[in-house]
Structure 1
Amino acid sequence: MVEIGYKLFTESHSAPELVNYARLAEDAGFSFLSISDHYLPWISNHGRAGFAWCTIGGVSQATSRVRVSTGVTCPLIRYHPAIVAQAAATAATLMPGRFELGLGTGESLNEHVVSGVFPTSEPVRLDMLREAVNIIRLLWKGGMQDYSGIYYTLDNAQIYELPRELPQIRISAEGPMSAEVAGEIGDALIHFEQKPEEVIETFRASGGEGKSCMIETVVCYGRSVDEAKRTAYEWFPVAANKGELNWIVPTPTQFEQLQQMVTPNDVAKNVLCGPDPQKIIEKVGKFVDMGYDSILLHQVGPEQKEFINLAHDVILPEFGIKPPRPESGGRMVPGPAR
C-alpha cells in the first residue's frame, strides 16, 4: 500500500505552527512527515526559516506514530557531515524507528551564507555528497574516528549518543546524474517532481532496485482555482523557475526578481491548484503507477488545517487509509473539509 506524507515547510510557518501541524497530520492518518531545512526563505514574504533540527525535537514529542524525515538536509557546506551525523543520531533516539535522514546537494540560497561560495558544478557537489555520506556512516559505527578526505577531515570524532536503530539515508535526486549517485550511496530515493520517470528508472538501474522511492508534489488547496493560483504565486513562485535557477540563485531578493518574470498561471503549471481533491487523488495514483511507494504532499499557503481535514476525509481513504477520529471526538480542526 502506498504511504502518503505531509510537508512541514519551515520557510512559511513558525516552529510552533509546524509542531501543531505535525500532530494534526498524524491524527489525520498521514504516514510520514518531511521537514525542509533552510537557512533563508525562498522569498522574503515567507517570513520564516526556523532551525529544522529544533523543530524536529518538538515534533518528536508531539507525535507518537508518524515517521519524520529531513526533506532535505545538505551536509556539504553549512553543516559539516560530522554535525549532521550527530544531529540525526540524536533525532533517532527521540523517535526510535521513526526518523529518516534525507540528504541532498543543497542550494546556494542556504549554503553560501557561511562561505560565500557554492559549487556550481553538479559533479563536484555529488562528489562532496558521496564523501559526506561516507563520513556519516563511519561515525554511526561508533568509536573514535579519524578521516582525511578530499573535502572533509575528522580528528578524534565520536558520537556518544547513538540510537539502537540507525536511520535510513534517503538521497535526493533531480535528474539522472544525481539519481545514479542516489542508487549507489542511498538507502532510498526522494525526487521533487522534475523528471519522475527518468529518475526512478535511473535510480533502480544504479543500485536502487527494491529500495523505497518517494516523490514530493506541490499542491495548493483553496476555495477556487483562481484563488489557489494567486496563493501559489504569492507563496511558492519558485515552482515556475526553469533549469538550475533554484540551485544557484543566492538570495531571497533575487528570487523575488524572478517572481516578477512569471505569472500565477506559470506557477500553476507546476502546482496543482484548486478545491477539487479528485485531481490530487489522480496525481498520486499516477506516481504510484510509476513505482513511487511514498508520496509527499506539499500544501502551500495558509490553509494547512483545511487541507489536513480534506486529506483525512477524502484523499487518504482513496488509498485505504482510514484513521480513527481523535479520542476527544469531533473534527480534528474546525471548518469544512471542502
Structure 2
Amino acid sequence: MTANMDGTAVAVRGLRKSYGEKVVLDGVDLTVAEGTTLALLGPNGAGKTTMVQILSTLIRADEGDMRVAGRDVRAEPDAVRAAIGVTGQFSAVDKLLTGEENLLLMADLHHLGRREGRRRAAELLERLDLVEAGRKAATTYSGGMQRRLDLAMTLVGEPRVIFLDEPTTGLDPRSRRGLWQIIRELVAGGVTIFLTTQYLEEADQLADRIALLDQGRLVAEGTPDELKRRIPGGHVSLRFTDPTELDLAARTLGLTGGDEETLVLQVPHDGGVHSLRALLARLDDASIEVETLTVHTPDLDDVFLALTDKKQANEKMEAVR
C-alpha cells in the first residue's frame, strides 16, 4: 500500500456513537500521523474500544467522517480492512493449532500462495522469536508467547496501520517490555500504531502522542511531556548540609522555608533545562552550596487523574446549576 500524500494515517472528525440513550463517543476529532504511535487513554467505559471497533470497520458510527490509511471507513470498508491489522484484548490464536499453522491459516485468509505463505510464516516466527515454538501447539505457549503469536498473525497481511487494543493486559513485566520492543521496531519500519492501554507507563514509553478520552470526549491531547507540563506539582528538591544554607536559599528564592529536619527545600519548577539552569545560577550567585538536587515532575498518572477528575467535577457543577 502506498503512503498517503498528506502523511496522515488516521483522520477522524465529529465521530459520534450511542447505544440507546447512552452516548459512547461524543464528537471526537483526532489525527494520527503515519509512522507514529498514538496512545488512546481513558477510564473504563470512556469509549476507547468502541472507537477502535469503528475505525477497524467492526461496527458503524452514527455520525462522523473517518479515514484510515487514506480510505473512507464508511464508503470503503474492504479497502480499510486490507490496509490494517487488529490485535484485541483477547487473543485470536487457535490454541489447538501450532504457531506455524496459525500463521499459515492467516496466510490463506489473505490469499497468499502456498510458497509465499510459508515464507511469510517463517519470517514472522523468526522476527517475533517463536521459531523454536513454531511447531508446538499454541496451548503450550505462555501468555507472552501467545500475544507475540497474535501480533504475528496480525502482521501476515503487512498492514500499514495496526490497532492494538490493550495488547499487554495480563502479561508479566518481562513479556510486556518484549512486546514494547517489537512495537518500536514496527514504528521504525513505518507502521502506524493506534494503541489503547490501561498501563500509563506503557503509553509513556511508546507514544509519540497521547489522546485522553473521558465519557466519550477528548479532554486532552499532546506529547507525553506536553501533557505532564499541564499539571501543577513539579518541583526541585534541594538538600543542604546545614540549616543556615537552607534558610539562606529560602530567602534568596523568596520561599517560606524548608524542612529543617531533613534540610530539604522544595522549589516549584516546570522541569525544563533552561529554568533549572536559571535556578542554579541564582544559588551560585548567592554562594549557596547545595548538597543534592532532585527534579520531580508530574507523571501520566497525575495527568490522568487530574484531567478526568476535573471534567467530572465540572459536569457535576453544571448539573447543580
User: What is the TM-score of this pair, normalised by structure 1?
Assistant: 0.25
- Tell which structure's C-alpha radius of gyration is larger: 2
User: What is the TM-score of this pair, normalised by structure 2?
Assistant: 0.25
